[in-house]
Structure 1
Amino acid sequence: MSAAKIPATIITGFLGAGKTTLIRHVLENAHDRRLALVINEFGDVGVDGDILRACGVENCPEENIVELANGCLCCTVADDFVPAIEALLAHEKRPEHIIIETSGLALPKPLVKAFDWPAIRSKLTVDGVIAVIDGKAVAEGRFADDLDAIAQERAETETIDHDNPLEEVFEDQLACADLVILNKTDLLDEAEEAAVAAQLSRGARASVKVVRVRDGHVDPLVLLGLAAAAEDDLANRPSHHDAETEHDHDDFDSFVVSIPAISDPAALVTKLVEAARAHDVLRVKGFVEVAGKPMRLLVQGVGARVQHHFDRPWKSGEERASRLVVIGEKGLDRESIAAMLAQP
């Protein structure tokens, strides 16, 4: 790897795997280098970017956080990614390492290919592709192609359709990875954790390590400095979409629900869980106003698993809007979901 090239780490992972939490931990602990972030959100509300700005760390100032919300980054390389990188490199204090958080639906290989573009190749290299995996989701039989290996420790087996494009996204992210982060191990028992780790090892390339973590707590030294130069190793990163010039995200819907201020976060969680189960919602995230509270409530859900906490005070003059991004497969009943969440 040329010393003149700035290393970039690509963080992939399915919806709700914990990418943003992991990146926040890296920001708060990588004090030895100046960082920049490129965040590709799926949805109209910049939740992930807002969460990361709230870190307030000196080594990644707000001007070094770039949000791209015009579509999946792997499909908009020329329009979005290249200009964003060029703008970051034009900063007076240019970053020493760039972290790229892809949307949960992004294929990593087309993005890695972008590092071979003349405008980028002489300036950047892919230090590593990191796949963040929601261990509990995989243990429940979602987005894995060998259910028997995982389901042997479970009382019931959940079946999935192996032709589902979600499967291909999951498998492509795993096959392109230089390091696999098995996240949310606190939600797994010992047997489940071992089974999921074995499953991921079979899906990843030979010699790629699976690191087991909780709450995205990974030492930055483990993630940064892999020196993989992935752009020079594309042939060894198989993809379901190698013969395609682009891939289709029309199988997914996302929309924003605005709700009134709430008085009881637990009641909101109950409604979110009910909506997820009734309408097969994959992901929900956003900020909510709680009446009488000076702090805003951050809400993040993966299927029927919903977490919430107060992340920071509302700023002076900031609109205290309650808005949630809802993501699911094509055909979501938007009106019914919105009605469920807005009811008192």
Structure 2
Amino acid sequence: MSDLAKIPCSIVTGFLGAGKTTLLRHVLETAGNRRVAILINEFGDVGIDRDILEGCGIEGCSEDSIVELSNGCICCTVADDFVPALEGLLAMEKPPEHIVIETSGLALPKPLVQAFNWPAIASRVTVDGVIAVVDGPAVAAGRFADDTEALAAQRSEDSSIDHENPLEEVYEDQLLCADLIVLNKTDLMDEAARKTVADEIGRTVPREVKIVETEGARIDGSVLLGLGAAAEADLASRPSHHDAEGEHDHDDFETFVLDLPQVSTADEMIARIEAATGDHDILRVKGFLDIEGKPMRLLVQGVGSRIQQQFDRPWRPDETRQGRLVVIGQKGLDQAAITRSIAGE
């Protein structure tokens, strides 16, 4: 089957809190009449991103067109989860015209691209493109890199020194596999910081890859859909830190879910979340809060000390008003202390 007869799939990758889900909402809003299905891979036991998309009010953003995988990292569970989920979408009475896959922030994209060569799906789908979403301010602050000058000096003195950071490896692997890089949150950066990050990306990626700057992950669907990369046939140009490994794990990270009662004010809870993030080096917080006297749920998304909030939709009559946050950090999170801090105990 020719590539023109295959259903195109876009893989949206990016580190924790880069803006992948927000980007998907903008893509759906500008997809026109195209039937787009979304496959979401959450890191953790409870999925939040599906709720965010289903509450967006966009026509076509229906329950049937959004599939969630929450049993583990999508790049580690290809056979058990990803391929069956993709086959389920292809078996729909009206199959999607385009499939967008949102990986977890910890996923390596290359194993997922390789999966498109599996016999069960190889003749039916193609990777239209890999899109890497970058949190510009976080990278500018050195979130994923060590002191490069000090590192270079140490390596010049001793060639056996290896200071690679697991977070940096994940970040770089996502860039190295990309066909398009979205440098997000540029409204929070000055011109010098934007140029510095763009130059760093250019040094990391050995081939020509377009960088698009965005504010609030706002980008038209026509920019992301239709890249025609056929990435599964171009694996050699997408190097990875993990090419020599049979598989990888995420033992450096952990996550837990925090259920919260109704709170009197949003400001009170946001202040607690900010304090807990600073005290316990939390990487990512996302979820919903139930605010007293408010008919709408409060969507909360935090990266480091930056906490964003907005009322995204009314509580439905058939759902329990319950605050719920997913907390993600590096191994060794003090869950009890974080729970006490956020709950105000």
Matched, 1:39 2:48: no
Q: Which amino acid aligns with 1:128?
A: G
What is the aligned partner in structure 2 of residue 216 from structure 1?
217
Q: What residue in structure 2 maps to residue 321 of structure 1?
A: 322
Partner of 2:269: 268
CA 1:146–1:95: 2 relative to 1, 3 Å: farther
Q: Which residue of the partner structure matches residue 100 of structure 1?
A: 101
Please state whether the residue corresponding to 2:317 is helix, strand or coil. Answer: coil
Query: Which deviations, in whole Å up to 9, do the C-alpha atoms of 1:136-161 show, x marking residues without a partner?
Result: 0001001146756xxxxxxxxxxxx9
TM-score, structure 2 normalization: 0.94
Aligned to 1:74: 75
Deviation at 1:200, TM superposition (A): 1.3
**Cα gap change, 1:37 to 1:214, in 2 (>3 Å):** same
Question: What CA deviation, in whole Å up to 9, does each residue of 1:8-36 have, x standing for no partner?
Answer: 00000000000000000000111131100
The C-alpha deviation readout for 1:213-269, integer Å capped at 9, x for no partner, is 101111111111110000001011000100111111011010011122111211211
CA distance in 2, matches of 1:56, 1:273: 29
Q: Distance in 1 between matches of 2:123 and 2:54?
A: 29
Kindly provide the amino acid, as one letter, of the partner of residue 54 in structure 1.
G
Structure 2 gap segments, 5+ residues each: 150-161
Deviations 1:166-209 (A, max 9, x none): 11100100000000000000100111111111111221242101
Identify the residue that residue 282 of structure 2 maps to in structure 1: 281
Kindly tell me the number of residue pairs found equivalent between the two proteins: 332
Match of 1:222, SS state, is helix
Secondary structure (helix, strand or coil) at the match of 1:55 reads: coil
Contact residue 10 and residue 126 of structure 1 kept, 8 A: yes
Q: What is the rounded CA distance, in whole Å, between the counterparts of 2:109 and 2:173 in structure 1?
A: 7
Aligned ranges for residues 237-316 of structure 1 at < 5 Å?
237-316=238-317
- Determine if contact 2:145/2:165 at 8 Å carries over to the other structure: no
- Cα distance between partner residues in 1 of 2:147 and 2:229: 28
Q: Letter of the aligned partner of 1:140 in structure 2?
A: A
Match in the other structure for 2:166: 165
* Contact residue 131 and residue 182 of structure 2 kept, 8 A: yes
Letter in 1 for 2:6: K
Contact 1:54/1:312 (CA < 8 Å) preserved in 2? yes
- State the identity as a percent: 64
TM-score (norm 1): 0.94
C-alpha distance after superposition, 1:42-95 (max 9, x if no partner): 122221111111123334432010000000000000000011011101101100
Residue equivalent to 1:177: 178
**8 Å Cα contact 1:41/1:103 also seen in 2:** yes
| 1:192 matched residue in structure 2 | 193
SS in 1 for 2:232: helix
Contact 1:41–1:69 (CA under 8 A) maintained in structure 2 = yes
